[in-house]
Chains A and B, each alone.
Chain A
Amino acid sequence: MTKISAQPTSPNDAGEMPKSQRFMNILEPLVLLLPSGIWLLLLLVLPTLLIFELSLVPGIRPGDIVNPSGWDNYARIFDPLYIKVIQQSLFFALGTTIICLVLGFPVAYWLAQIAPPRWRNLLLLSFVLPLWTSSLLRTYAWITILRPSGLLNTILSSLGLPILDLLHRSPAVLIGMSYSLLPYMVLILYASLEKLDVQLLEAGSDLGANPAQVFWLVTVPQTFTGIAAGSLLVFISGLGDFVNPELLGGASSMTVARLVYNQFLGSTQNWGFGSALSMVLILVVSVAIALLIKFGDAVPKR
């Protein structure tokens, strides 16, 4: 076990660091970064490169020889049929993100600023509690609630209100997805809102901004990092979800994620096309993350 010296040794007369010290300077961060570095390399970098290689082989099937030869798989994606599927996925992901923002912001604001401080942690915990159950179970629960004779309609009809035919349509998908992803949005927004300086809101008011203006001109820019991070998380998760669209969405709910599933685990076994689709998804997510890094920090550092 190499000994890590307690104090940095001073340069010798010639003004250079002793060799052992230089070695330690390189070794120490390396040792600390190594475990996660290997993890990322094996489980993220290598598989992604593998998928990329596969995507360059048109019509490959298990048992075939891998010989990257062209971009045919990518060209196929531009077929209007598949573009439509991608649009559907984007619709679900974006819709869920917006719903989570609109619903999550008031809740996070209330938790961070208005709720009594003693109760905050307990309230946060109870909000996150649904995440402890299986996500498939939650989706099945929504079927039970939303179907024509389900819980929602039973309540509505007992109140004399018209019943809602939500199941097997897009609204049900958005409900199911939003429900699963809302806790994440609330948690991330809460972290941002907790740090909000209330005096800034007073300053805005003092300078003539009515409550709506204070919200858009002060609160939102101040919490922009939280909003961006939360939206990104929900968007990426939403893009990869095919369980909710399939079980709640009815007959027209083919998503990109399901398409990829079909290529690998379906009867066609076209791993090449599936890989190309996966690479497109990875690209979309990467672009979103890049945008976040560039514009996410509204407050410039010194």
Chain B
Amino acid sequence: MAQTATQNHFEVMAQETVDVELRNVFKFFHTEPAVHGVDLSIRRGEFFSILGPSGCGKTTILRLIAGFETPSAGKLLIRGQLMTDVPAYRRPVNTVFQSYALFNHLNVADNIAFGLRLKKISKSEIDTRVKEALKLVKMESLRSRFPTQLSGGQQQRVALARALVNRPAVLLLDEPLGALDLKLRKDLQVELSNLHKDLGLTFVMVTHDQEEALSLSDRIAVMNQGKIEQIGTPSQIYEQPLTPFVADFIGDTNLFKGEVKSDTPSTLEVMTRSGLTIAIARSLSTPNILSSTVVVSVRPEKIQLSLYTPNVEQNCFAGRLTNIMYLGTHVHYVVELESGDRLTVLQPNTIGTLPQSDTTIYAYWAPTDCIALAS
């Protein structure tokens, strides 16, 4: 479970420089626990994302790091220093807010210079650094504009520049691309990624968009209801989810609940309530299942379809095609099995003609293409 993952996580971290660390942090609002016993360690120079549905506590964690909230219990360290008594304005951290929070009584250049002016830096150096920052986000020509005169994407860039110009140890981003349209979002994701590579700073981003997290991050923490479900690299999270929640939240999946029928060193056999017997090949990363009820997860793109009985021994089930959706690059099928379960299947668009709806069909997959999760 998550605990085991954290243990692994800390072992790995032991030798590296850690910029942000949360140790068993709790945060209560009235009696509601928004953050419930969270342990996190963010390496220097990482692009770390916290991913989860709304209300899972990810924004709270960001605010705890920034200093806008104080933990109800537990410790928070930035660059090895305990932050319990350090207010937000003294932390080496800068935030890019979801609503940008630009000062609309100042123009772009003055917004960016805001933090620098508080540090008593010489005027000439402020000018140089502001120019640099404007160049970094490609906003030089708009330096005299006011925030109300800028588009969403432009405001976001100014917010980035305003934070980065202070050379913080950690940059916090709160759903930075949430308010933008798809094309703009894609472009800015690339820019963000490039910025991170060029500057080498530690980025901590909060988002509910899993695609964004997967494409930008070095590591992701998946959160649900105040707790961390799993921390890992994007491929780890996707290919080896540790809990049904993670499996379901990241990408699409088919989940089956069932009882362990037999347990050999090479294969796990699970019998679902609907009568299906699924064989799961054991691998090094399959954790020890301690209970007898498990959840089996099969990704839609790993399921094969055949009009005729395929020549496989395990994980082959008969059913009926009930829905076919043509997606251009892929085709999305819904198969209703004889057992009553419903499968979603995703196949690349290689077949010449698509089968008709309501056709009898066989769905099958290799035991190595599914995993068992503790429920």
A–B touch (CB < 8 A): the answer is yes
Question: Is the beta-carbon distance between A302 and B104 smaller than 8 angstroms?
Answer: no
CB-CB under 8 A from A206, the residues of chain B are 66-68, 88-89, 93-95, 163
* CB-CB contacts below 8 Å: A214-232 with B: 214, 217-218, 221-222, 224
Question: Is the beta-carbon distance between B87 and A207 smaller than 8 angstroms?
Answer: no
Q: Does A87 contact B (CB under 8 A)?
A: no
Question: Is the beta-carbon distance between A208 and B166 smaller than 8 angstroms?
Answer: yes
Q: Select one of B88, B97, B99, B148 contacting A299, CB under 8 A.
A: B148
Question: Is the beta-carbon distance between B148 and A208 smaller than 8 angstroms?
Answer: no
A250 to B105, CA, bound (A): 45
A204 to B166, CA, bound (A): 13
Q: Does A210 contact B (CB under 8 A)?
A: yes
Question: Is the beta-carbon distance between A202 and B101 smaller than 8 angstroms?
Answer: yes
A269 to chain B, nearest CB (A): 52
Q: Select one of A209, A224, A300 contacting B118, CB under 8 A.
A: A209
Question: Is the beta-carbon distance between B87 and A205 smaller than 8 angstroms?
Answer: yes
CB-CB under 8 A from B166, the residues of chain A are 207-208
A243 to B328, CA, bound (A): 83
Q: Select one of B101, B118, B119, B146 contacting A199, CB under 8 A.
A: B101
- Residue in chain A with minimal CB distance to B106: A221
* CB-CB contacts below 8 Å: B80-118 with A: 87-90, 93-95, 97, 99, 101-106, 114-115, 118
- Residue in chain A with minimal CB distance to B90: A208
Question: Is the beta-carbon distance between B101 and A197 smaller than 8 angstroms?
Answer: yes
Q: Does A19 contact B (CB under 8 A)?
A: no
Q: Does B149 contact A (CB under 8 A)?
A: yes
CB-CB under 8 A from A204, the residues of chain B are 103, 114
Question: Is the beta-carbon distance between A210 and B101 smaller than 8 angstroms?
Answer: no
Q: Does A66 contact B (CB under 8 A)?
A: no
CB-CB under 8 A from B227, the residues of chain A are none
Q: Select one of B94, B99, B104, B105 contacting A207, CB under 8 A.
A: B94
Q: Select one of B103, B119, B149 contacting A302, CB under 8 A.
A: B149
A9 to chain B, nearest CB (A): 37
Question: Is the beta-carbon distance between A300 and B148 smaller than 8 angstroms?
Answer: yes
Q: Select one of A213, A218, A224, A300 contacting B103, CB under 8 A.
A: A218
Question: Is the beta-carbon distance between B87 and A203 smaller than 8 angstroms?
Answer: no
- The 8 A CB mask of B296-327 against A (1 = contact, 0 = none) is 00000000000000000000000000000000
* CB-CB contacts below 8 Å: A182-206 with B: 197, 199-200, 202-206
- Residue in chain B with minimal CB distance to A203: B101
Question: Is the beta-carbon distance between B148 and A205 smaller than 8 angstroms?
Answer: no
B204 to chain A, nearest CB (A): 14
Q: Does B219 contact A (CB under 8 A)?
A: no
Question: Is the beta-carbon distance between A199 and B88 smaller than 8 angstroms?
Answer: no
Q: Does B162 contact A (CB under 8 A)?
A: yes
A221 to B107, CA, bound (A): 13
A200 to B115, CA, bound (A): 13
Q: Does A301 contact B (CB under 8 A)?
A: yes
Q: Select one of A197, A209, A302 contacting B148, CB under 8 A.
A: A302
Chain A residues touching B, majority SS:
helix
- Residue in chain B with minimal CB distance to A213: B118
* CB-CB contacts below 8 Å: B162-217 with A: 162-163, 166
B114 to chain A, nearest CB (A): 5
A17 to B89, CA, bound (A): 62
A255 to chain B, nearest CB (A): 37
A135 to chain B, nearest CB (A): 36
B25 to chain A, nearest CB (A): 20
CB-CB under 8 A from A217, the residues of chain B are 114
Question: Is the beta-carbon distance between B148 and A301 smaller than 8 angstroms?
Answer: yes
Q: Does A83 contact B (CB under 8 A)?
A: no
Q: Does A103 contact B (CB under 8 A)?
A: no
Question: Is the beta-carbon distance between A300 and B101 smaller than 8 angstroms?
Answer: no
Question: Is the beta-carbon distance between B89 and A210 smaller than 8 angstroms?
Answer: yes
A197 to B102, CA, bound (A): 10
- The 8 A CB mask of B232-272 against A (1 = contact, 0 = none) is 00000000000000000000000000000000000000000
A115 to B115, CA, bound (A): 30
Question: Is the beta-carbon distance between B88 and A202 smaller than 8 angstroms?
Answer: yes
A301 to B114, CA, bound (A): 21
A294 to chain B, nearest CB (A): 16
Question: Is the beta-carbon distance between A298 and B105 smaller than 8 angstroms?
Answer: yes
A207 to B93, CA, bound (A): 8
A192 to B102, CA, bound (A): 18
Question: Is the beta-carbon distance between B162 and A200 smaller than 8 angstroms?
Answer: no
Q: A203-B97, A213-B118 are in contact. Are A208 and B89 (CB under 8 A)?
A: yes
- Residue in chain B with minimal CB distance to A220: B105
A224 to B106, CA, bound (A): 13
Between A203, A209, A214, A298, the greatest number of chain B beta carbons within 10 A of the residue's beta carbon is seen for A203
A interface vs B, CB < 8 Å?
Answer: 197, 199-200, 202-210, 213-214, 217-218, 221-222, 224, 298-302
9 closest residue pairs by CB, A with B: A207-B115, A203-B101, A221-B105, A199-B101, A205-B88, A208-B118, A298-B105, A206-B95, A205-B89
Task: List 19 additional A-B contacts (Cβ < 8 Å) besides A203-B95, A207-B114.
Answer: A197-B101, A200-B101, A200-B103, A203-B97, A203-B102, A203-B103, A205-B68, A205-B87, A206-B93, A206-B94, A207-B162, A207-B166, A208-B115, A208-B166, A209-B89, A217-B114, A218-B103, A224-B105, A302-B148
Interchain residue pairs with CB less than 8 A apart (28): A199-B97, A199-B101, A202-B88, A202-B95, A202-B97, A202-B101, A203-B102, A203-B103, A205-B67, A205-B87, A205-B88, A205-B89, A206-B88, A206-B95, A207-B89, A207-B118, A207-B166, A208-B115, A209-B114, A210-B89, A214-B89, A221-B103, A222-B103, A224-B105, A299-B104, A299-B105, A300-B146, A301-B148
